[in-house]
Structure 1
């Protein structure tokens, strides 16, 4: 414990964000460049090095948080980077994108603001790259075994890197033109610049991982043939089958899924397009869905210059404090949180009709109406109670000429034929079925990430990738355990 009184004498300070008026005029990351590093050592010193560190339990990767907090407080960056990478392949991703369940499980969070674990993680990862502490780690010898990984999101990339470093020859197949999955085309640039993904991909190439982009397994490459060519196959395609909103007027033009909208903005940032064909510029935008994907749409629409943006959340507005009976520490509580996009919408007053920032809570969509040309012009909603029953007399209408549906995902997309061609068994909810060793019903085929777990967090995806790599390595080597497996396929976040 570097500073026995740090948690008593040092207040929590987060990485400062750039002013709203400045950051909404570009697509760069929202934090003040260079402002994190001076904060990190004293913030890491707030860690109490608990005898039973619940931050470990809250993090599916089992990150060694007290250890690297202590090293950072002493400014031993190389050692901190080694401890951080011992459990996490991509800490610069989680340091930017993870909602930090570790902080909810911080013992200090019982009665004080938690340690800024996510900020410390990001600082260590960035410092490691700047100082050259993360060189490629190619295997000392090759096993002669080959593995195909389908999908290049965090689960697929983590599995591929672990298996490559273990000496297997790994090829990653990605249907998009660039590697990264939803990190590439689902996460807006202002949350994570894609140079971070590019840098990791180059590291993996140098280690020996092979990448095949613009290749849809099941259509461009026969899935059964791919399985026959390799000693093992890992399915990590994510949960990309989006949920629909079956209400009157859904067929009107101008109503799109969030994942039809967000990738176009990312392609503009990448230089592929001059402007998005679904740009929110000058439009009245309504986002249906109160989760992170909806918030990503909100921040994107604000940057595109929408006339107004409103986000609908069917849940009641959460409280500002943890409900100790329903969600006791160290579970991850549902609280009223102000994301970067909501902060921007609040300050810019993008949604005059909203309850707070840009959100209308307890709001359920009834129908859409359009003009004579078949384009959406209005969204009709009603307030609902805790059981989602309409409250009489609460109907209202919002102007809407662009509606974005951000209602989550139900499982892997079956349109490409991968699942059916391999004959993979599915769970009743539509995800890929697997046993306690991540193996599917097809010999030599394993499943990891959202495709099997269901829609989840990036930190769970990386943990799944590491765990399935351990299972595949055991399969290829005859049962010898050589790689770490942080979770099992049936593990779930802590709940009361």
Structure 2
């Protein structure tokens, strides 16, 4: 067996910034490690708390103008790969973003303009949902004249009409939208394209159009008895409630579906005083809804019935009186990769019902947009949402996704369009693999419990239906939670390398910045690897000497 030579064992350190799992998982493309690091390392950087908070808020809003909103509703995929999860729980990134967003609202911080001076091009945006507003924001802050057209009475799209007040208070969404509008764009509410103004007229008025219409059109079940009163889609029902026009449901409500809209509809119906049963044709493991929201539904008294599908709605006269349900079993995987539900023969039974809410699928509503309609539910685009030089798209018009993805679609389309219009190079970050968990030395950090947001009791939720279920963590919790971040793949100034280097190969920088605290003096390096082995965040990697 060959023994490694002394020269082969020796290695010098290389400062290598690497992609953290949170950054890889963030739908909006935010530099999560970066903005958390500014606050966690504020004393090392010579920043007061307010300075650090403000700098972090600007880092977040550079890509996402809705931190207080997403801090409440995002399913936070960024936390799924957090390297702290296996130690004492993932960093509560969602709670941190919410605190920062609320802080920015309280402080009256304004969104930052990127370029001074007005550009000659006129931009029209169809739809004031997350994709449309994100695109409009990024174009307006670069100096473009932007007009946003929204057919509803209020902006926000699914954020306004598809999410209950107890999850997203309207005042929070309205405040963040107002910051976007303050950049100087024009918002035309109650203006349906194809109704108040035609596509042809829009093309004559604007050089570029962005299509961000969302997916507010829901699909019905296609079963006998669904035509008639007391049957709604999930989006119809939630929109009615959010408009202050809640329909009368009666005592027994059946909700069909397993996604976030279904859970939101079930919990909202429960707040009306009805008994609510949710039917889902697969099992709990296959439910796409946010797990915490499912737990909340159970706590609030919603009955979840799995492997069950409605086959018929019974009526007494015109009134809904029952729902016939068939048991299902899981067969082979379908196109989605999930096992396909298969009906169990002879398994029908009936449930009493006074209303049914179907929340099984959504797609864009192309009414009035015949000139732009793709002839299919979803529009197809090239990279960054480009359809042609004068038409771009993003959000649910391209396919169903979470709000964070729609916001990212709008931003990326704006960045690409701006580069094209100004004949500039579009900088696209190269694809990278996140740093591996075994490169992080979690034992360097002491155990710290994850921050938990305050919640109101189940009784209070049902007696005050619009009360926000979860609160924002306090400032002390916030400052403790940012300290839990491992800063995976980037120096956070722990000084291990500086303290243990025998040769004095590290020198302090007089003006450190986040991630940059020491300069390497490789001519002083002895190649002992000690700094590499001690680095807790995986920032120092080995480079052979010689």
When normalised by structure 2's length, the TM-score is: 0.68
Q: How far is 1:279 from its partner?
A: 3.0
Could you tell me how far apart the structure 2 residues matched to 1:467 and 1:335 are? Answer: 27
Which residue is equivalent to 2:350?
A: 397
CA-based RMSD of the aligned residues comes to 2.5
| Structure 2 unmatched runs, 5+ | 1-15, 43-48, 332-340, 432-546
Which residue is equivalent to 1:412?
A: 364
Could you tell me how far apart the structure 2 residues matched to 1:151 and 1:334 are? Answer: 26
Residues 466, 92 of structure 1: CA spacing in aligned structure 2 closer, same or farther, 3 A cutoff? Answer: same
Q: Is 1:439 aligned to residue 439 of structure 2?
A: no
Q: Is 1:349 aligned to residue 295 of structure 2?
A: no
Could you tell me how far apart the structure 2 residues matched to 1:256 and 1:79 are? Answer: 45
Q: Is 1:71 aligned to residue 38 of structure 2?
A: yes
Could you tell me how far apart the structure 2 residues matched to 1:127 and 1:451 are? Answer: 32
Q: Which of 135, 149, 169 matches 1:193?
A: 169
Residues 259, 349 of structure 1: CA spacing in aligned structure 2 closer, same or farther, 3 A cutoff? Answer: closer
Q: How far is 1:294 from its partner?
A: 0.8
Which residue is equivalent to 1:160?
A: 136
Residues 135, 164 of structure 1: CA spacing in aligned structure 2 closer, same or farther, 3 A cutoff? Answer: closer
Residues 126, 366 of structure 1: CA spacing in aligned structure 2 closer, same or farther, 3 A cutoff? Answer: same
Write out aligned runs for 1:178-189 (5 A): 178-189=154-165
Query: Which structure has more strand as a fraction of its residues?
Result: 2
Q: Is 1:451 aligned to residue 413 of structure 2?
A: no
Could you tell me how far apart the structure 1 residues matched to 2:345 and 2:72 are? Answer: 42
Q: Deviation digits for residues 379-411 of structure 1, max 9, x if unmatched?
A: 1112211121122454321111110010121x3
Which residue is equivalent to 1:279?
A: 248
| Structure 1 unmatched runs, 5+ | 1-48, 320-332, 351-357, 489-496
From the CA coordinates, give the structure whose radius of gyration is larger.
2
Could you tell me how far apart the structure 1 residues matched to 2:170 and 2:361 are? Answer: 23
Could you tell me how far apart the structure 1 residues matched to 2:157 and 2:306 are? Answer: 31
- Asked whether the 8 Å contact 1:463–1:487 carries over to 2, the reply is no
Which residue is equivalent to 1:260?
A: 236
Q: Which of 305, 311, 323 matches 2:273?
A: 305
Count, aligned residues: 398
Shifted more, 120-129 versus 455-464: the winner is 120-129
Which residue is equivalent to 2:29?
A: 62
- Asked whether the 8 Å contact 2:131–2:406 carries over to 1, the reply is yes
- Asked whether the 8 Å contact 1:138–1:164 carries over to 2, the reply is no
- Asked whether the 8 Å contact 1:189–1:266 carries over to 2, the reply is yes
- Asked whether the 8 Å contact 1:385–1:391 carries over to 2, the reply is yes
- Asked whether the 8 Å contact 1:139–1:165 carries over to 2, the reply is yes
Which residue is equivalent to 2:498?
A: none
Shifted more, 134-143 versus 467-476: the winner is 134-143
Could you tell me how far apart the structure 2 residues matched to 1:379 and 1:440 are? Answer: 44
Q: How far is 1:62 from its partner?
A: 2.2
Q: Is 1:375 aligned to residue 319 of structure 2?
A: yes
Q: How far is 1:425 from its partner?
A: 3.5
Could you tell me how far apart the structure 2 residues matched to 1:168 and 1:487 are? Answer: 28
Q: How far is 1:138 from its partner?
A: 8.1
